Amino acid sequence: MIRITPATFDAVSYIARNLRQIDYVELAATSLVEDPAPLLADRVMSYSAMAFIALDGREPVSCWGLIPSWPGVGTAYAFGTDRWGCALLAMTKHVSRFMLPLLLDNGYHRIECRSLARRDDTRRWLTMFGAEAEAVLRSSGKRGEDFVLYRWLRNDHRRPQSAHLSCH
Q: How confident is the model at residue 38 (pLDDT cuts 50, 70, 90)?
A: very high
Domains and CATH numbers, the chain: 2-156 (3.40.630.30)
What average pLDDT score do residues 130-136 get?
Answer: 96
Q: Per residue in 6-35, pLDDT tens?
A: 999 999 999 999 999 999 999 999 999 999
pLDDT at 163 over 60: no
Whole-prediction pTM: 0.90
In this model, does residue 68 exceed pLDDT 60?
yes
Reported as a single tens digit per residue, the pLDDT across 106-122 is 899 999 999 999 999 99
Share the mean pLDDT of the chain. 92
- Mean pLDDT computed over 85-104: 93
Please give the Cα distance from 64 to 131 (Å, whole number): 15
Q: Is 38 helix (H, G, I), strand (E, B) or coil?
A: helix
Is a pLDDT exceeding 50 seen at residue 165? no
Closest CA to 113 of 147, 86, 157: 147
Tell me how far apart the alpha carbons of residues 53 and 64 are, in angstroms, rounded to a whole number: 7
pLDDT band at 162 (very low <50, low <70, confident <90, very high): very low
CB atoms near residue 124 (< 10 Å): 9
